[in-house]
Amino acid sequence: MSAQFLDLPAKWVNESDTIRRHIGLSFNTVRRNYINESKHP
């Protein structure tokens, strides 16, 4: 029980880090597309 309980926060940290990376990637893609469109209307 206690071992599983201690393992949960590490799992949450990994998942939130992955989510944050996905958000960052999609944000960079949107920003890159916006810059390209403003350069070439």
Which pLDDT value is given to residue 39? 82
Which pLDDT value is given to residue 2? 64
Which pLDDT value is given to residue 30? 93
Q: Which of 41, 25, 28, 18 is nearest to 10 (CA)?
A: 18
In angstroms, the CA 4 to CA 15 distance is 16
Predicted confidence (pLDDT) at residue 1 exceeds the cutoff of 60 = no
DSSP tally for the chain: helices H, then strands E = 1, 0
